[in-house]
Each structure stands twice: as structure tokens, then as C-alpha cells.
Homo-oligomer: A and B are copies of this chain.
Amino acid sequence: MLRRLFQVFAPARDRQPVGIRADRRSADKLIADCRELMSEKGEVSGTRIATRMLSGYQALDLAGRDRFFDLLIRNFSPDPEEVGQAGDAYRKHPSPQTLAKLQRVVEPPRQELFRRLNIAPGGTRVLVEMRADLLREGQSSREPIAADLEHLLTSWFNRGFLVLQRIDWRTPASILEKLIAYEAVHQIHGWNDLRRRLAVDRRCYAFFHPALPDEPIIFVEAALTRGMSDRVQPLLDPEAAVADVNTADCALFYSITNCQKGLRGVPFGSFLIKQVVEDLGRELPGIRRFATLSPIPGFRAWLDQNRSAPDIKGLLEKLDDPEWNRNEQIAAELKPHLLHLCARYLLREKGGKDPLDSVARFHLRNGARLERINWLSDTTSKGLERSAGLTVNYVYRLSDLERNHELYTRESRIPASPEVEGLAAKPPRVADLKLA
């Protein structure tokens, strides 16, 4: 039985091509370092060994890293026999002592290894990178290591250890260039573009972790506007005039980006938005509304998947025209249909209990309300391709977040404005859509 288990854990042996001998040796050498780090020697020379290991890991190519992961599974997993025995002992005499023993032996020695690696300068950074490596495709056999790291990093990147910092034009360039590199919603086109996004009528905040001082973990960009904006492009225009902040009554979150692949699944976004809403509310009492201007990334794909539905079919023919949004007549014709379908998509289409749309899931789970669907709001190619040019304003009212959240999580109800509810409820007449 142990044998079988071992085989399950270990990846197929012949997966590795012949030419990577060198890295095989490097990976094997790393594992030797791991053993040393876990030994008594590690206790007194831990920092030195860990430092050597981390740079050893970073020097490995992909194949070498795969080899290293396999060895980690083979050598630093719980001992099945020990686990079995501790389980039996607990079954026989359930007590704090037998439970403690069981807890000890089910924890993979990898966990302690990772913690010891972390004592070297820059260790946390490499561990985050390691997890990113494990989230690459084809890593399913290394899932246990990824799970170990997720557990560890979730604990280490606890909200209580994150520091909120405002990002503006006085922020070090070494951090600003990372915003340019990471921005995932609306690409930042160089330093001029960034400079506009950090002007006085904008706000940008990021979470940082003390162990990664130069690395934003997640950041959000907001515009301070008069009225809740319904169009993306004016916000992205680097030449747009800077607005008077004193007359602003709305903070519009138009972009939120997770920066670290290796921290995927660790929840930051909800904390960030709520913290910023609270802080901005205190700092600028004139801001009465906090809303997003969000993409609907799954909308267009959903339309395509439902291409054969009678009320979608003719519509898609027109949407397939890459110039549809520039043709006023076609756009006017499409408008009621797309708005209705979008409202339906957001409010009614679910996978299990939750809405299909990932952005909707995120904001609704946070307790926001689906306030408005905006027509021809994001006409970048990405906006057209994914969201059919539409966007959504989700509104964050601090006093409603908890109730909305509970409606959503317990009763699977989606808080929405009457306007959006109305859009979803009344389909326009299909006959109005003139087919080509």
C-alpha cells in the first residue's frame, strides 16, 4: 500500500527529456541543501544555506524546477506509515495528545522547509515565485506542494500584515513601473498615461507586504468625478483635463489588479476596496458615492455560446461586424436587445448558485449592488471583444454591504437597482431587430 501511495505522489519518471542532465543534478543538489537546512546544521547556518538554496532555485530552468518539485514530493511528504499509525492511535484513544501527534505527522515536512527558506533575505519573494511556478499548466501532480504553499502564504499574507499605501507621482519609480507592467484591466501606455492616472483628481492605492517592500500586492485605481461616470474612455485619456476635486461627489473605481500570480486565491480585493471606501469617505466628506466602472468579461462569450437562441442569433450577426459600434443605426437597433440580454446574463444566468460573470461574483460577494449597465461604455477592442462594449457600475454603500452580502450568499439573490431589474424583466420585441 505504501508503494502505491508513493507512486501516486511521484510523477512519471520518463517525462524528462535526456538533455537536461545538468539541471537534474542542480535539482538533486538543491534537495541535498534542503536536507541540510532541516538538519541540526540548518539550525546554526540556516540563513547561509537558505540563501544558497534560493539562488539555486532561481537558477533552475523549468525542467529543473519540475524535477525539484518531484523530489520535494518524494522526499518531504508525510510518511504514510506514520500517518496511518497516528490515525489508528487516535481512533483507539482520542485525546489531545494523540490528536497533537496526528496533527504533527500529517503536516508535510515541506511546510517546515518553506518556513526555513523564508529566513533568508528575499525568501518570501522566492516562495511566492515558487507557487507561481506551481500554478503553471500541467502541474497537477504537484498539487500537494501548491496546496502547502497556498496554506502558508494565505497565513503570511493575512490582511493584518498588509499595509495600505497611496500611490501617487511621488512614489518611487521602481514601484510605479510595476503598475505599468501589472495593470490588468486597462493597460497603462507608458509614463505619461500613468502620470495622468495619478493626478489630483485620481486616487490609487495598493496593499504592500513588509517582506516585499517594492512589490505591490494588489492595487486599485479610482477617479474622483462629479456624477457616476458611465464611460471608460474619458477616464483613460492621458490628455483629459484634470477635474476640480472639490466638486467631486463620486469615487469611481475603474481598475483593480492582483499583481502576484503566486498569491492567486489569497483574498485581497475585498479588503482593499472596503478600506479605500472607508478612508476616502473620511478624507473627502464630499464624496457620497463609491462605485465601480467594471467590465462584464464573460458577456460576449456567453452570447456566443447561446448563438442559437432566437433572440441572440440575429443580434450576433450584427455584432460580428467589427465596426458595429461606429454605425449609429446598427448601434441604436442593438441597444435595447444587448442591454436586456446583459441584465439577464448578470441577474439570471448562474453556474450553480453564483452568477456566471466573474467580476459580478467578486463585487456582489463583497456586498456591492448592481446599479447600472452602461451602453457603449468601453469601446476599446478588449472592451468590445469581451463585454460587447458594455460596462457595469457596482455601488458600494458601507451601510448596505452586510445585508447585500447575506442576501447574496445565503439566498443567492442579487441586489440590483430597479432600473437593472426592469431591463432584465422586459425583453424588447425581437421583430425590432432588422435582420440583414
Contacts and interface: CB of A to CB of B under 8 A. Distances in A.
Interface of A: 1-2, 4-5, 8-9, 40-41, 43-47, 78, 80, 83-84, 87-88, 90-91, 94-96, 99-100, 102-103, 106-107, 115, 118-121, 123-124, 143-144, 147, 152, 154-156, 158-161, 163, 169-174, 176-177, 190-191, 195, 210-211, 214, 270-271, 274, 365-367, 401-402, 405-406, 409-410
Contacts of A210: 161, 163, 210
A208 B1 CA distance: 48
Given A40-B409, A78-B99, A402-B44, A2 B94 contact: yes
Nearest to A366: B44
Contacts of A84: 90-91, 94
Interface of A (DSSP majority class): helix
Contacts of A124: 160-161
A284 B218 CA distance: 33
13 contacts: A8-B95, A9-B96, A40-B406, A44-B270, A44-B365, A44-B402, A83-B102, A84-B90, A102-B106, A152-B155, A156-B161, A170-B172, A173-B173
A8 B96 CA distance: 8
Contacts of A123: 160
Copies of chain A in the complex: 4
A44 B405 contact: yes
Contacts of A158: 115, 118-119, 156
B155 A41 contact: no
B405 A43 contact: yes
Residue among A78, A158, A401 having the largest count of chain B Cβ atoms under 10 Å: A158
Contacts of A402: 41, 44-45
A404 to B, nearest CB: 8
A351 B43 CA distance: 21
A210 B124 CA distance: 15
A234 B369 CA distance: 54
Contacts of A46: 159
A394 B271 CA distance: 48
B406 A41 contact: yes
Contact of A120 (B1, B160, B270, B409): B160
Contacts of A170: 172-174, 214
Contacts of A176: 173
B174 A172 contact: no
Given A124-B160, A163-B210, 19 more contacts: A40-B406, A41-B402, A41-B405, A43-B270, A43-B409, A44-B366, A44-B402, A44-B405, A47-B271, A88-B91, A96-B143, A99-B144, A103-B106, A123-B160, A124-B161, A156-B161, A161-B161, A161-B210, A161-B211
A405 B40 contact: yes
A412 B431 CA distance: 90
A91 B87 contact: yes
Given A156-B156, A158-B119, A161-B211, A87 B100 contact: no
